Structure 1
Amino acid sequence: MARPKIVVVGGGFAGTECLHRLERRLGPAEADLLLVTPTDYQLYFPLLPHVAAGVLTPQSVAVSLRRRLRRTRLLPGVAIGVDPRAKVCVVRKTTGEMLDVPYDHLVLTAGSTTRTFDIPGLSEYALGMKTLAQAAYLRDHVIGQLDLAAVTQDPAERDARLRFVVVGGGYAGTETAACLQRLTTAAAKRYPRLDPALIEWHLVDVAPKLLPELGDKLGAKAMFMLRRRGIEFSLETSVRAIERTSVTLTDGRVLPTHTLIWTAGVQASPIVDTLSRDTLRGRLVTGPELTVPGTDGVLAAGDAAAVPDLAKGGDTITPPTAQHAQRQGKVLADNVVAGLHGRPLRPYFHHDLGLVVDLGGRDAVSKPLGIELSGATAQAVARGYHLMALRTFTARTRVAVNWALNATAGDDFVRTGFQAGRPASIQDFEHTNAYLSIDQLANHERPTAHKSG
């Protein structure tokens, strides 16, 4: 008999954890394991702001998939559609070639993309922070603004280039603003003609509080730390329009700027829409066992799935965090194995262990196991958590060494130019326009595809 084909879509926290466990629980003759992913690394998202700020090198947060997965085949590409009736996953390889990948068990851990809105100028001028390439681009862009501001003779242009706007007061936005503000403050000392007092950072969010998930006290503490460093806040405010050299806020203010960093939340991968199954807040609805109702052999987890949070009674869904995704990955593997062997599936249940927010230097707020911490103690907890969450010894070593090197030797604030000349929009970096529509799947309106066994 042919070995059952287990196809995992997405090499993030949930997908990698699932395959790592499957390799341990299934022998080579029991199943064929395939991972569909555009990269050969698992990106450790929580430390992307450190990459953008130059505290960590890009390789530090790119955990090698081949170091963790020894028997899984990697298919370099993006899954752009699923036909659950035919049990086929449509993949566009990195070469552009289209493949029909048949499966017996499909595990959807496709993650998320940046959530955008119909705001004039957003798709053209906003910079994202969701991928490694975006973080590298953003670092070059910010340093480039300092370079240009230092040589211009136009005071208005200088002010605009030294004004940076971050939209989104969640973890990603707050940490990005905090880490990059430290970068520009330190780098300004290398520019004799730049007055550091002219550098402005603005954090804009529609919510009335910063980091509401941490509670009022820690959110206020984080704001106090960042205000002390010069970051300005515009809460209960959103963006009305974005132009190449300015941002208009909903309160009527116009901020001249060449930098708008958009971190206003995430949305499930567009592949979710191709299944024609129920969604909740854009995420694919699953049962407690991570199965997708109405499909045969399809499970989902991570940012793309609306998983009932049984630890809170099951009336809410688990938040899209790395902590939940990693633990859901283990349950995915256990339930795939149970399905193969005809055993009952087990539900996902996990008590949140807490949250950490690294604001750079000695500034941080953390809430491990419900204990509220701030300052250096919270920073130690945050960095300790990140080191434990990294899944290989090599990755932990690289991150620890980079932190130590940056703390002792500082940064040279150079632009690498690796991303120079490429389109900088969120859509271009995240390829959100690459997915098939439901009609294309139903009518097979796609280029001639090859079968992948």
Structure 2
Amino acid sequence: MAVPRILIVGGGYVGMYTALRLQRRLRRGEAHVTVADFGSYMTYQPFLPEAAAGNIEPRHVVVPLRRILRSCEILSGTVESVSLADRTARFQPHEGPAVTIGYDYVVVAPGSVSRLLPIPGLTDHGIGFKTVEEAIHLRNHVLGKLDLAASTPDERVRRRALTFVFVGGGYAGVEALGELEDMAADACRYFEGIGRGDMRWILVEATDRILPEVGEDMARWTVQELRGRGIEVRTRTLLTSAENGHIVLDDGQEFDAETLVWTAGVKPNPVVAAGDLPLDEKGRVKATAYLRIKGTDFAFTAGDAAAVPDLTRPGLLCPPNAQHAVRQGRRLADNVLATIRGQTCTPYRHRDVGSVASLGLYQGVAQIYGRQMRGFPAWFMHRTYHLMRMPTFNKKSRILMDWTLGLLFPREIVSLGALQRPHAEFKLAGRS
């Protein structure tokens, strides 16, 4: 009898935690687990702002799948489509021809991608904040602009370089802006002629408030905190154009900026629409409370790309955050095992414990079990909570060491922008 194959599409929170639990609980020869993802590592996204600010080494916020999933097959490339009808998936490696992968059980957890709007210039001049590569690029970019501003006598170039625009007032946008502004303000002392007041940081949010994940009181306090640092917070405002780096807002403001960060929402990974998966009106995979894809007994889904009912809030869906994704991955793995063994599955149920966010060193905002915190206690809670949730003792130790060294020594302010252009100097040498 052939060993059943479990295909896991996506190596993020859900994919990695599902595979890790299966690896620990499967009996020898009971099933073969394959994880297919574009990269071969899981990124712990809540630490991306700290990685961008230089508080954490970027390599320490990623977990290599091949190291912790030693009993699983890891495929690096793109899953182009998933077919439930014939239990196959089309997989495209980074190089070479595409292949068809057969499976007995499938876990569809590809996560989400940035949700872009048809705004002129956005795709050419904007950058997202969902991957460690984007975080590294943004850090180098911001420090590079400080270098440029300190080296040019042209006031127009200088003003353009020192203007930083973030679109989206959710956790991703507020944390990214807060950490990077704090880093840049700290770095200013090393750049002659540049002070905190010379920089212009702008947060643009389309709705009437930022941080919808926390209470209104905490959101208002966050706005006051950011404005107290000189950051412009513009609610009920839309970005209408960014062509050639010229920012146009619908409130009549126009200015030039060389930094545009887009964190205004996400959408399910396009792979979910490429096969025959049942989707809801927002393009998410329809799921039952047992984390099964509706209408099947062999296909499972969870995470950002899934519409999972929230049993603690009847009629609503689980929010797309790491807190739910980690727990869904574990429950999903147990239900896959139960299905293989002919046992009863258990519905997913978890009451949201709250949210925490960092606004830079020693400043944060949090809402835990209905209790509101701000300032240093919230910042400390943010670090403590996410350190505990970071996978592997190895990564926990390295992050803790990064923080300890940060207390003893100043942050590095070197811009390694050439990482995005590694062949530039080599080509220049060839012309001489």
The answer to whether the 8 Å contact 2:121/2:245 transfers is no
How many residues are treated as equivalent by the alignment?
Answer: 421
SS in structure 1 at match of 2:80: strand
- Quote the residue 2:305 is aligned against: 304
1:358-384: CA deviation from partner (whole Å, max 9, x where unpaired)? 111110011111111111111111111
Amino acid at match of 1:177: L
Q: Which residue of 1 aligns with 2:285?
A: 284
Secondary structure, aligned partner of 1:100: strand
Secondary structure, in 3 states, of the residue corresponding to 2:213? helix
* Cα drift, residue 240 of structure 1: 0.3
Indicate conservation of the 8 Å contact 1:136/1:419, yes or no. Answer: no
Unaligned runs of 5+ in 1: 423-453
Query: TM-score, normalised to structure 2's length?
Result: 0.95
CA shift for structure 1 position 330: 1.0
Query: Within 5 A, what are the aligned runs for 1:219-238?
Result: 219-238=219-238
5 Å-filtered alignment, 1:31-50, equals 31-50=31-50
Partner Cα distance (2:350, 2:178) in 1: 30
- Counterpart for residue 382 of structure 2: 382
Say which SS state the counterpart of residue 312 (structure 1) adopts: coil
- Are the equivalent residues in 2 in contact too, given 1:363–1:375 (CA < 8 A)? yes
Given that 1:247 and 1:257 are in contact with CA atoms closer than 8 Å, whether structure 2 keeps it comes out as yes
Partner of 2:97: 97
Tell me how far 1:418 sits from its aligned partner.
5.7
Deviation digits for residues 305-341 of structure 1 (CA, Å, limit 9, x no counterpart): 010000112x111111000000000111111111111
Could you list the per-position Cα deviations for residues 40-95 of structure 1 after superposition, in whole angstroms to 9, with x for gaps in the alignment? 22100011111111111111101222332221111111211112212111111122
Shift of residue 193 of structure 1? 2.5
Where do residues 98-137 of structure 1 align in structure 2 (5 Å cutoff)? 98-137=98-137
Query: Over residues 254-285 of structure 1, what are the superposed CA-to-partner deviations in whole Å (9 max), with x where a residue is unaligned?
Result: 12111100000111110111234222422111
Aligned to 1:351: 351
- Secondary structure of 1:201's counterpart equals strand
Match of 2:275 in 1: 275
Q: Distance in 1 between matches of 2:234 and 2:352?
A: 30
How far 1:178 sits from its partner (Å)?
Answer: 0.2
Higher deviation after alignment, 190-199 or 207-216: 190-199
Partner amino acid for 1:72? C
- Compared CA separation, residues 97 and 188, structure 1 to 2 (3 A): farther
Separation in structure 2 between the aligned mates of residue 74 and residue 48 of structure 1, nearest angstrom? 24
* Counterpart-to-counterpart distance in 2, 1:42 and 1:391: 10
Partners of 2:185 and 2:195 within 8 A in 1: no
Q: What CA distance in whole angstroms lies between the structure 2 residues aligned with 1:246 and 1:405?
A: 40
Matches within 5 A, 1:193-342: 193-276=193-276, 277-295=278-296, 297-313=298-314, 315-342=315-342
Give the secondary structure class of the aligned counterpart of 1:77: strand
Amino acid of the structure 1 residue aligned with 2:148:
L
SS at match of 2:351: coil
Report deviation, 1:6. 0.1
Alpha-carbon distance in 2 for matches of 1:195, 1:410 = 18
Classify the secondary structure of the residue corresponding to 2:35: strand
Once the two structures are TM-superposed, the CA of residue 156 in structure 1 deviates from its matched residue by 1.4
Q: CA deviation at 1:349?
A: 0.4
Deviation at 1:196, TM superposition (A): 3.0
What CA distance in whole angstroms lies between the structure 1 residues aligned with 2:174 and 2:337?
Answer: 40
Question: Which residue identity is paired with 1:252?
Answer: G
**Matches of 1:49 and 1:328 in 2, distance apart?**
24
Distance change >3 Å, CA 87–CA 418, structure 1 → 2: farther
Hey, what does 2:158 align to over in structure 1?
158
Aligned equivalents of 1:73 and 1:123: distance in 2?
A: 35
The Cα of 1:245 is off from its aligned counterpart by 2.5
Tell me whether 104-113 or 290-299 shows the greater mean CA deviation. Answer: 290-299
Please state how far the C-alpha of 1:148 moved relative to its aligned partner: 1.0
Give yes or no for contact 2:125–2:245 (8 Å, CA) kept in 1: no
The CA deviation at 1:293 is: 1.7
- Name the structure 2 match of 1:28: 28
Deviation of 1:419 after TM superposition, in Å, equals: 3.8
Structure 1 distance, partners of 2:55, 2:132, is 14
Q: Once the two structures are superposed, what CA deviation does each residue of 1:173-217 show, in whole Å capped at 9, x if it has no partner?
A: 000000010111111111113243110100001011110220111
Post-superposition shift, 1:157?
Answer: 1.4
Counterpart Cα distance in 1 of 2:103 and 2:132: 30
Q: CA RMSD in A?
A: 1.4
The unaligned stretches of length 5 or more in structure 2 are 423-432
Question: Of the two structures, which has the highest relative contact order with CA contacts closer than 8 Å and spacing of 6 or more?
Answer: 1
Give the counterpart letter for 2:292 in structure 1.
T
Task: Establish whether residue 147 from structure 1 lines up as the match of residue 179 from structure 2.
Answer: no
Q: Are the aligned partners of 2:226 and 2:233 in contact in 1 as well (CA < 8 Å)?
A: no
Q: Identity of counterpart residues, as a percentage? A: 38
What is the CA–CA distance in structure 2 between the aligned matches of 1:42 and 1:213, rounded to whole Å?
24
